[in-house]
Structure 1
Amino acid sequence: MSPRTLLALNWKMNKTPTEARAWGRELARSYRRGTVEVAVMAPAVSLYGLKEAMPGGVDIGAQDVSAHESGAHTGEISAAMLRDAECTYVIVGHSERRTDHAETDALVAAKARQAQAQGLTPIVCVGEGLEVRERGEHVEHTLAQLRGSLDGVDERVVIAYEPVWAIGTGKTATAEDAEAMAAAIRGALREHYGDLADSLRVLYGGSVKPDNVAAICAQPNVNGALVGGASLKVEDVLAMLSALE
């Protein structure tokens, strides 16, 4: 049995707490729970207010977490803090974090372990840049990143494949491209977790929109999407849910 489809909405550095609450209330007016799971990955300052405004059945999550449990780490946000904010998920290793903050696979794995220690499900992001794909090394690169990012991480995890060249560029991997990489990721997960790999969710992220989400998520090894720009408007989110349902 295939795992439940997950639509993870990554707002990135958008929406003030006031705007987030308004978005949640707008969604609540039209949202009807269906077969697709929805989670909103919001900036940390918006999480409490967003949870209060969100309709029942929609989860919230964070966009990053500290690799440290607590202590003298100014500016960091711990997994315990996110749990207290009633988060279900947290993104770790997004390509923008890897690029802008030089996050390594080892650091991503440490963050994922911290998330799991507090009962959160990490969404571990992996993927290649354009130059890697043009050299034909995208599978090798992505699987090496995956293995390093899962060191000591148990099976309570979601994987998001995000080809970096398709994030915010308007370029999108075809549904066949997404499936080819998702299948390779599934194979690596089987090596790591055995038969449990078949129940793990592999998401695709990169310029996902209402007009392509259904084709991408219909692929056998793609179990949902990590959505950036199209997550900011409630009408687009509802259109994606309609397409998937």
Structure 2
Amino acid sequence: MARTPLIAGNWKMNLDHLEAIATVQKLAFALPKEYYEKVDVAVTVPFTDLRSVQTLVEGDKLQITYGAQDVSEHESGAYTGEISATMLAKLGCSWVVTGHSERREYHGETNAQVAAKSKAALGKGISPIVCVGEPLEVREKGTHVEYVVEQTKASLEGLSAEELSRTVIAYEPVWAIGTGKVASAADAQEVCHALRNLIRDLAGEEVAEGMRILYGGSVKADTVAEIVGQPDVDGGLVGGASLDGQAFAKLAANAAGPLN
């Protein structure tokens, strides 16, 4: 089964709602529409940018999709500062990032919380991009594959095969996020292949072959083609390189490959 690459920009805590409009406009202008047949392009933006991005995407009928960087596992109620999946769905979100290493590290998010947040999103028709990855000490010990497989299994706990078919996994080695260090294409393939085998065990061949597994961690325009060229890597979760609309368009075009 041919999987269309997904290039998802994670803006993190950058760009206010006015900068968001300018960035998405630049991205849309710089990426010719022919490329969208070969690559899916998304941005995950701060909550305060969502309405502006929604208005622009819908008003200009852009082929870019968008989403949020976190979601509450709760439906509604006395959870100060939280944002529910229902709220995100009303804003037209296609995606939500769950379990990013920065959320796990700075906010103490557990695998169980990541699974609950992902399930909440799926219940409202939003696809979670579930982030997993090993710290440097695990990589140096050589136990990274086992570590990431176990982390992923726990982060998907309780999701049905149907829910998994609407889920994306992003492998982000923690030591490569924002450091400029990049896992080699072979490193990315090794872990993504193991993750596809895990999904095969959890949900069967069809779901495993259809699931998109991304690589994240200092993805750049000049490295993305080789990474996406690996048999089990289906795109990238892109941080800093997604903050400039023109540069992100170039990265997405490189991921798409040459037009026929």
TM-score range, shorter chain: over 0.9
Give the Å deviation of 1:241. Answer: 2.0
* Superposed counterparts of 1:6-45, under 5 Å: 6-33=6-33, 34=35, 35-45=38-48
Q: What TM-score comes out, normalization by structure 1 length?
A: 0.98
- Quote the Cα distance in structure 2 between the aligned partners of 1:210 and 1:192: 34
**Alpha-carbon displacement from aligned partner over 1:15-57 (angstroms, at most 9, x marks no partner):** 0111101112222323323210011000011001012223511
1:187 aligns with one of 167, 184, 197:
197
- Quote the Cα distance in structure 1 between the aligned partners of 2:96 and 2:220: 22
Higher mean C-alpha displacement, 75-84 vs 132-141:
132-141
Q: Is the 8 A contact 1:128 1:163 kept in 2?
A: yes
Query: What is the aligned residue count?
Result: 245
**Alpha-carbon displacement from aligned partner over 1:146-196 (angstroms, at most 9, x marks no partner):** 000101122210000000000000000000000000001111110111111
Unmatched runs of 5 consecutive residues or more in structure 2: none
Give the Å deviation of 1:222. Answer: 0.3
2:99 aligns with one of 93, 100, 105:
93
Query: Is 1:166 aligned to 2:166, yes or no?
Result: no
Equivalent residue for 1:120? 126
Unmatched runs of 5 consecutive residues or more in structure 1: none
Tell me the secondary structure at the aligned position of residue 71 of structure 2.
coil
* Superposed counterparts of 1:191-210, under 5 Å: 191-195=201-205, 196-210=207-221
Higher RCO (C-alpha 8 Å, min separation 6) = 2
Q: Is the 8 A contact 2:99 2:132 kept in 1?
A: yes
Q: Is the 8 A contact 1:209 1:236 kept in 2?
A: no
What value does the CA root-mean-square deviation take over the aligned residues?
1.0
1:52 aligns with one of 43, 51, 55:
55
Letter in 1 for 2:224: V
- Quote the Cα distance in structure 1 between the aligned partners of 2:40 and 2:218: 19
- Quote the Cα distance in structure 2 between the aligned partners of 1:79 and 1:135: 38
- Quote the Cα distance in structure 2 between the aligned partners of 1:226 and 1:25: 20
1:244 aligns with one of 216, 232, 255:
255
Higher mean C-alpha displacement, 228-237 vs 105-114:
228-237
Q: Where has structure 1 moved over 6 Å in runs of 4 or more?
A: none
Equivalent residue for 2:152? 146
Letter in 2 for 1:128: E
Q: What TM-score comes out, normalization by structure 2 length?
A: 0.92
- Quote the Cα distance in structure 1 between the aligned partners of 2:21 and 2:174: 30
Equivalent residue for 1:65? 71
Q: Is the 8 A contact 2:213 2:234 kept in 1?
A: yes
- Quote the Cα distance in structure 2 between the aligned partners of 1:140 and 1:111: 24
Q: Is the 8 A contact 1:127 1:162 kept in 2?
A: yes
- Quote the Cα distance in structure 1 between the aligned partners of 2:88 and 2:244: 24
- Quote the Cα distance in structure 1 between the aligned partners of 2:177 and 2:132: 12
The sequence identity of aligned pairs, in percent, is 50
Letter in 1 for 2:18: T
**Alpha-carbon displacement from aligned partner over 1:53-102 (angstroms, at most 9, x marks no partner):** 23511001100000101111010000000000100000000000000001
Higher mean C-alpha displacement, 20-29 vs 5-14:
20-29
**Alpha-carbon displacement from aligned partner over 1:186-230 (angstroms, at most 9, x marks no partner):** 111101111111100000000000000000000000000000010
Letter in 2 for 1:53: L
Equivalent residue for 2:110? 104
